[in-house]
Amino acid sequence: MDDELVDPRSDLMFGIEELKEARPGYDQAQTYYDGKVPEVFTSVRLRRALAAHNIDFDLNFAKTPVDAVCDRLEIAGITGQNDAETALISKVWQDNQLDLEMPDTFRRAGEFGDAYLIVLPVYGDGEQVIRVEMFYNSPQTVRVIYDEENPRRKRFTIKRWCDGPYQRVELIYDDRTERWTTGKNSSGDKPNDWLHWPADGEDPESWLIEHDWGESCVFHFRTDRPYGVPEHYGAYGPQNAITKLQATHMGTVDYQGFPQRYALTETATTDTSDLEPGDFDDGDWPINEQGLGPSDSGDDSSLKAGPGEMMLLRGFKQVGQFDAAQPNVFLDPITFNVRAMAVICTTPLHLFDPSGEQPSGQSVRAQDAPFTKKVSNRQLSYGATLREAFAFALRRLGIPDPVVTIHWKPAETVDDVEGWQTVQAKIAAGVPRRQALIEAGYRAEQVDAWLTGTDDAELQRRVDVLASLADSAQKLGAAAALGVITGEQVTALLSGAIDDLEALAQAQEEG
């Protein structure tokens, strides 16, 4: 097909439609993460009443699956194939404040399922690249469109945003960037709404920016392929139930503090038809903020429903009060929904269990195993994308064939007495010490550094010391709980022991 027959706005309109279709899902994910999901009422009257009074009893558990994964995603370092490349990577990292940018990118990727990092070279005088800029972009405004024949290949990227009364769009390809804009207050729903948007007002052709990169500058962090799923997607249903239970529970609290009362009358004296507003003086009732009593405002019915109110009837023979709903009617289902959320989202229950029960030792590792696997999968996916981003940056800075390695902190490490006892038992059973330490969650680079210049006997001694120290800490903690020793004394004893061990280790290395 001739180029003249191809609609130049076909990609533009296709990208806009893709963004429009995906946006509601991202907005919903943000709403649940922020805890702004309204309670669902079957009664229209109740829904309107709460909306009118802006009543809010947020109890947001849905964000926990997102934060739990993000907390385990810590980059230990990024290296190149030599010191010069590693130094250049470090400079790019510092120039773009990626110690702040990357955790936010990982969190957004978990919140939305997708997040984008755009890497742009900055040119000095001439064609020399003096630095690169890296910055996060939201999937609510950016979307990579993949090739249907090869889903790993990026066909193009669309970025759309509002600029006052204008709609702006950039289409980013491997060899060019196209800039589009609408007229004032145009919705941009029709192809003819879009016009070329020159970067230089004096150069009408500058709407098209060509380059020779041969690759996309947009990097897609995602929890799945081709597009991700929010980490807390499975929490939507349980969170709806929790929100409803919590709001309804709060509605019963007033009745628990101020029970609703009633008065019974004899059958022959139940006629209240002759009660008129004037039968009671305003002095018998509270005065409102406007200084009006019930007979002035018309709010003087003999039957009052509400916390602390009296149902006023003639000829009382008995009075009493209605029992409020028991808290467990609401709290037990909330606990069930939190547990369901933990299972559905593969997140350990102890990370958001409202009962406060915290397992320890081997129990924690058993519960954390599926979650740790999920974190490891995120490290693989996010690490591959980040590696591509830094390789792109280094190529723009003049490194022809960069090799970038992402080092993550372990998704899980052994730091309790049971764990170190297990490591000790593995080594005693013949498992190589290096393998046992790697299985404990430590990086291979760390283990190799520890083993350098250390014989088997010394390594065994260090493992024994760590196991003994963990055992002592556990026993001292139990003693403090029983009141035999104070927490300050425990801290002082352990700190002194650790200082002595460090001094001894330093003396041995110097000797």
Averaged pLDDT score across all residues of the chain: 81
> What pLDDT, on a 0 to 100 scale, did the predictor assign at position 501?
64
Distances (CA, A) of 267 to 270, 272, 322: 6, 12, 21
* C-alpha angle 217-220-221 in degrees, rounded to nearest 5: 140
Express as a percent the part of the chain with pLDDT over 70: 72
pLDDT digits (tens, 9 = 90+) for 347-388: 988 887 755 555 655 666 777 889 999 999 999 999 999 999
Phi (first) and psi of residue 269, to 5 degrees: -125, 35
> What pLDDT, on a 0 to 100 scale, did the predictor assign at position 367?
76
- Residue identified by tokens 């385990």 is 72
Tokens at residue 470, please?
């963990």
> What pLDDT, on a 0 to 100 scale, did the predictor assign at position 287?
58
pLDDT digits (tens, 9 = 90+) for 124-148: 887 789 999 999 999 999 999 999 9
Q: Is the pLDDT of residue 315 over 70?
A: no
Distances (CA, A) of 200 to 174, 196, 485: 22, 12, 74
Say whether the peptide bond before residue 204 is cis (omega within 30 degrees of 0).
no
Name the residue with higher pLDDT: 225 or 500: 225
Confidence band of 510 (pLDDT split at 50, 70, 90): low
Name the residue with higher pLDDT: 249 or 166: 166
> What pLDDT, on a 0 to 100 scale, did the predictor assign at position 86?
94
> What pLDDT, on a 0 to 100 scale, did the predictor assign at position 404?
96
% helix, strand, coil for the chain, step of 5: 50, 15, 35
Residue type, 351: L
* Burial (Cβ within 10 Å: 0-12, 13-18, ≥19) of residue 379: buried
pLDDT digits (tens, 9 = 90+) for 16-66: 999 999 999 999 999 999 988 876 665 556 566 555 555 566 788 999 999
> What pLDDT, on a 0 to 100 scale, did the predictor assign at position 132?
96
> What pLDDT, on a 0 to 100 scale, did the predictor assign at position 51?
56
| Range scoring the smallest mean pLDDT among 84-98, 122-136, 284-298, 339-353 | 284-298
- Residue identified by tokens 């995602």 is 222
Q: Is the pLDDT of residue 460 over 80?
A: no
Distances (CA, A) of 225 to 151, 229, 230, 275: 9, 9, 12, 72
Looking only at the bridges linking them, the beta strands covering 208-210 and 176-182 are: antiparallel
Q: Is the pLDDT of residue 472 over 60?
A: yes
Residue type, 345: C
Given its phi and psi angles, is residue 190 left (phi above 0), alpha (psi -120 to 50 degrees) or beta?
beta
> What pLDDT, on a 0 to 100 scale, did the predictor assign at position 112?
98
> What pLDDT, on a 0 to 100 scale, did the predictor assign at position 313?
55
pLDDT digits (tens, 9 = 90+) for 211-221: 999 999 999 99
Phi (first) and psi of residue 421, to 5 degrees: -65, -35
Confidence band of 278 (pLDDT split at 50, 70, 90): very low
Name the residue with higher pLDDT: 88 or 201: 88
**Rounded Cα distance, 510 and 507, in Å:** 5
196 by DSSP, 3-state: which?
strand
Confidence band of 480 (pLDDT split at 50, 70, 90): confident
**Rounded Cα distance, 276 and 273, in Å:** 8
Q: Is the pLDDT of residue 429 over 60?
A: yes
Domains of the chain by residue range: 8-232, 415-511
Beta-bridged to residue 105, according to DSSP, are: none
* Burial (Cβ within 10 Å: 0-12, 13-18, ≥19) of residue 50: middle
Tokens at residue 482, please?
């029983």
Sequence-separated (6 or more) residues with CB below 8 Å from residue 23: 140
Distances (CA, A) of 432 to 13, 450, 456, 468: 60, 14, 10, 21
Name the residue with higher pLDDT: 177 or 425: 177
Tokens at residue 19, please?
């963004």
117 by DSSP, 3-state: which?
strand
Q: Is the pLDDT of residue 346 over 90?
A: yes
